[in-house]
A and B are shown apart, each in its own frame.
Chain A
Amino acid sequence: MKKDRITKILLVLVLLMLPVNFYLIFQVAPTERIMGDVQRIFYLHVSLAISAYIGFGVLFVSSIMFLIKKNLYWDTLAYSAGEVGLMFSTLVLITGSFWARPVWNVWWTWDPRLVTMLILWFIYIGYFMLRKSISERLKKARYSAIIGILGFLDVPVVRLATKWWRSIHPRLSKEGGGLDPLMIKVMLFSLLTFVVFTIVIIIFRFRVAWAEERLYSILNEMEEYHE
């Protein structure tokens, strides 16, 4: 199984990368002059956001694929990626809050990027609520694919609207401008780690979910030939 081997390689890779990544963040990266150690959350925060977008992006593409192919394989991939995306976006919101508290002295800031993430979080909560409320399997897949597509399309529009909207309201603070070259390197490594990490989690979640789906269909067949 070629696919299996790739998954295994990715898994080993991510298990090696994660500790290195944390070592880089907490030991190698220089301490920020004004914000201090708290700034180190930033590396995680941004990486988590990218991970969340990967999850929602995969959900978006698989939703389109489902409507074209009508194969539950794609729907299973869609909700697996959606769950991963939802988990990461929750962490983004939490780390964002941890970051805002010492830096801006507030628990929450209406920064356009953060607001976009919050809106997305609500949209995908709605996605899973809708899934829960439909029992017929194919209908569930079709209906939620529609939310998966329309929800992701909202990202650029919400992003633009919140950016303009912030520009009328008083700004809390600007993001730090000049980053130390070493900081940038640590950031890039962290991003890479989390991209691989996300892909691995989605693959594993998908394999469990797909096994469940197949188990159901086998149980159905057994029921069928029971008599």
Chain B
Amino acid sequence: MLRLLDISKTYSLKAVLRGVYLELKDGEAFVLFGPNGAGKSTLLKIAAGLMSPNTGRVELTTDSHSHSSIFYIGHKNGLYNELTVLENIRFFQDITGSRNSNTILREILMEFGLWQRRNDPVKQLSQGMKRRLSLMKGFISGADLLLLDEPFSGLDIRWKEIILERLRGLKKQGVSLLMVTHLIKEGLSIADRIGLLENGILRLQCKTEEITEEEIKEILRGGVCR
């Protein structure tokens, strides 16, 4: 699905990523952990093709070669603040060509707690609502690969569960996931494999079964490698 080969990236003189190899198989969920400034977001942007690495390359193998097969949600929500919730969604459907029926749309809007506010401009929504709307775009985009950067930011425990449930559903449909988060429990609950990025180096890569939440916390706290 996605292969990152020997990715290095520097900003002026600061090395952000140093020779990262990462492979994501079809329908796999990979979650990246790491302290702030480890280069997680940069790696995600490079995977999305939004940034080019100084060395190394990104290989993407999907059925179609268009961008529409991947979807990226960064720190920003990618919403038009002056437009209403429905207008944002409609525009998104127009350009992605994903014609979900009105009932499905209504269902997902209800599930995400946005149905009541569907005709309000996005700028009037709370941070959590904006984040949910942003994630919703990813869920209806029909992409084969979702790249999510801190998807749970601004969401409380209830919404986290609902989003996780959705993500599990997508995984069952064969969608691949590459996710960056600092929430270890939530990350582990969805991941097939996890990676630990520290100082631009992928220190650890393993299956979810092989590691526990405590161990990850311990590594992140002490910076000790196994």
CB–CB under 8 A between A and B in the complex? Answer: yes
Q: Interface segment, A48-56, A94-102, A218-226?
A: A218-226
Query: When the two chains form the complex, which single residue of A135, A138, A219, A224 contacts B52, counting CB atoms closer than 8 Å?
Result: A138
Q: A77–B54 Cα gap in the complex (Å)? A: 19
Cα A151 to Cα B199 in complex, Å, equals: 41
Q: Is A175 an interface residue (CB 8 A)?
A: no
A4 interface residue, CB < 8 Å from B? no
Q: In the complex, A135→B54 CA distance in Å?
A: 14
Q: Which DSSP category, helix, strand, loop or mixed, fits chain A's interface?
A: helix
B10 touches A (CB below 8 Å): yes
| Contact yes or no, A220 B199, CB < 8 A | no
Q: How far is the CA of A128 from the CA of B144 in the complex (A)?
A: 41
Is A227 in contact with B15, judged by CB distance below 8 angstroms?
no
The answer to whether B13 touches A219 (Cβ under 8 A) is yes
- The chain B residue sitting closest to A223, CB to CB, is B15
Question: B1-30: contact bitstring with A at CB < 8 Å (1 yes, 0 no)?
Answer: 000000010111111001100000000000
Show the binding face of A for B, using Cβ within 8 Å.
70, 135-138, 216-217, 219-220, 223-224, 227
Q: Which residues of B contact A224 (CB under 8 A)?
A: 8, 15, 18-19, 200
5 A-B pairs closest in CB distance: A220-B10, A224-B18, A224-B15, A223-B15, A138-B52
Number of B residues with CB within 8 Å of any CB on chain A: 13
Instruction: Please measure, in the bound complex, the distance between the C-alpha atom of A136 and the C-alpha atom of B9, giving whole angstroms.
Output: 11
Cα(A70)–Cα(B19), bound, Å: 20
Cα A220 to Cα B15 in complex, Å, equals 6
Closest to A225 in B: B18
A223 & B13 in contact (Cβ 8 Å cutoff) = yes
Q: List 24 A-B contacts (CB under 8 A).
A: A70-B52, A135-B11, A135-B12, A136-B11, A137-B12, A138-B52, A216-B12, A216-B13, A217-B54, A219-B13, A220-B10, A220-B13, A220-B15, A220-B54, A223-B10, A223-B13, A223-B14, A223-B15, A224-B8, A224-B15, A224-B18, A224-B19, A224-B200, A227-B199
